[in-house]
Amino acid sequence: MDLLTPTTLLKFSIASSIAVVLISWLVRRIMNTINGTLPLPPGPMGLPLIGNLPFIEPDLHRYFLKLSKIYGPIFKLRLGNKLCIVLHSPSVVKEALKDNDITFANHDKLAGAEIITYGGNDIVWNPYGPEWRMLRRVSVHDFINNTTLEVGRAFRRKEIRRMVNTLYHHAGTPVNIGDYTTQTIFNTMTSMLWGGTVGKDTKVASEFKEVLAGIVDLLGQPNISDLFPIIARFDLQGVERKMKGLMSWFDQIFDDILDQRIEMNKATGDDKGETKDFLDILLQLKNGADPKTVLTMSHVKALMLDLAIGGAETTSTTSEWAMTELMTHPEVTEKLQQELETVVGKDNIVEEHHISKLHYLDAVVREILRMHPGLPLLIPHMPSESCQVGGYTIPKGSRVFINVWAIQRDPSVWDDPLEFKPERWFNPNNANVELNGVDFRFLPFGSGRRTCAGFTLAERMLTYNLSSLLHSFNWRLPDGGKLEHEEKFGLVLKKKNPLIVIPTPRLSNPGLYNNA
Domain assignment present for 481: yes
Structural domain tally of the chain? 1
Residue 36: predicted pLDDT: 55
- Domain holding 158, by residue range, is 20-513
Residue 280: predicted pLDDT: 86
Residue 496: predicted pLDDT: 94
Residue 336: predicted pLDDT: 98
Domain assignment present for 288: yes
Domain assignment present for 110: yes
Domain assignment present for 175: yes
Other beta carbons within 10 Å of 352: 18
Of how many residues is the chain composed?
516
Domain assignment present for 169: yes
Expressed in angstroms, the distance from the first to the final Cα of the chain is 93
Question: Mean pLDDT in runs of 10 for the chain (516 residues)?
Answer: 49 53 54 67 95 94 97 96 96 97 94 90 93 90 78 90 96 95 88 71 74 89 90 92 93 86 79 68 85 87 87 89 97 98 96 96 97 96 97 97 98 96 96 93 95 89 96 96 92 94 95 85
d(CA 340, CA 325): 18
Domain assignment present for 6: no
d(CA 287, CA 106): 29
d(CA 164, CA 351): 13
pTM metric for this prediction: 0.89
Domain assignment present for 341: yes
Q: Assign residue 248 the CATH number of its domain.
A: 1.10.630.10
Phi and psi of 430, rounded to 5°? -115, -10
Domain assignment present for 145: yes
